[in-house]
Amino acid sequence: MSTPRILAPLLLAFALNALAADPAATSRKIQPNDVIFIRVVGEVDLTMERRIGADGKITYPYLEELLVRDKTPTEVERMIRDGLKDGYFVNPQVTVDFKEYVKEYVNVNGAVNQSGRIELPVDRRLELIDVISMARDLSPKADVDYIQLTRKGQPTITYKYKEIRSITDPDKKIYVEPGDQIFVKERIF
C-alpha cells in the first residue's frame, strides 16, 4: 500500500518540523553574521541560505526585510510561514535551521589556572561552575568567597565557590551568557 501523493509532502513537512523542534538546536538565538537555512516544502525558489546582516535583518522573497536578530529558528519559521500565508500560499511548511554560528565567548580572569576567553558551545548553556572548570579551575591563590560575574546592563554579582558548586536545582543554577566577564579575586595572605 503506497502513501497517496498528496500526503507525502505533508509527511515530509511533519518530519522536518519534528527534527527542527529539537530544543537544543532551536534555543540559541540568531545573531548578526549567523547563516540560516530556510526550507519551504515544495517551493525550490523559496529554499535558501541567508546570512544575518549587522542590523539583524535578512531579505526574503515576498516578505522584503525581516528582523531575525535575537529570535530562535522556530520564531523565524512562524514569521515566514505567517508572512507567506498572507496572500501568497495556503499552508506553507517552513523550517529554519542554523548553517553557521558566530562564535560567542565569556572572559575569565583573575585567580584561575588559565585566564582568557572561553568559547560557548552552540548546543547547550554553560553554568558558571562549568566555565571555571574550563579555565582549569581556581588557582591555589583564589579567594573562594569572591567570584564576580559582570553582565552588560546588569549589576555585578559576587558568588562563593562553595555555594555555586552546591546548586542542584536547575532553576537556580547560574548560567553564563555571551560577553559575561568572570573575575576571581586573589586571597590576601
Q: Where are the domains of the chain?
A: 7-100, 105-186
Report CA-CA distances (Å) from 149 to 27, 66, 137, 156: 23, 34, 16, 6
Task: List per-residue pLDDT tens for the chain, 189 residues long.
Answer: 444 545 444 444 444 444 444 444 446 889 999 999 999 999 999 999 999 999 999 999 999 899 999 999 999 999 999 999 988 898 999 999 999 988 899 999 999 999 999 999 877 889 999 999 999 999 999 999 999 999 999 999 999 999 999 999 989 999 999 999 999 999 987
Q: Give yes or no for a contact between 49 and 106, defined as CB atoms under 8 angstroms apart.
A: no
> At 43, which amino acid appears?
E
The CATH number given to 105-186 is 3.10.560.10
46, 31, 35: which is closest to 97 by C-alpha? 35
Q: Give yes or no for a contact between 5 and 51, defined as CB atoms under 8 angstroms apart.
A: no
According to DSSP, the residues that pair with 147 across neighbouring strands are: 159, 184
13, 85, 1, 82: which is closest to 42 by C-alpha? 13
Q: Give yes or no for a contact between 141 and 186, defined as CB atoms under 8 angstroms apart.
A: yes
DSSP 175: B
Phi–psi pair at 163, nearest 5 degrees: -70, -45
The CATH number given to 7-100 is 3.30.1950.10
Which residue shows C-alpha cell 583573575? 110
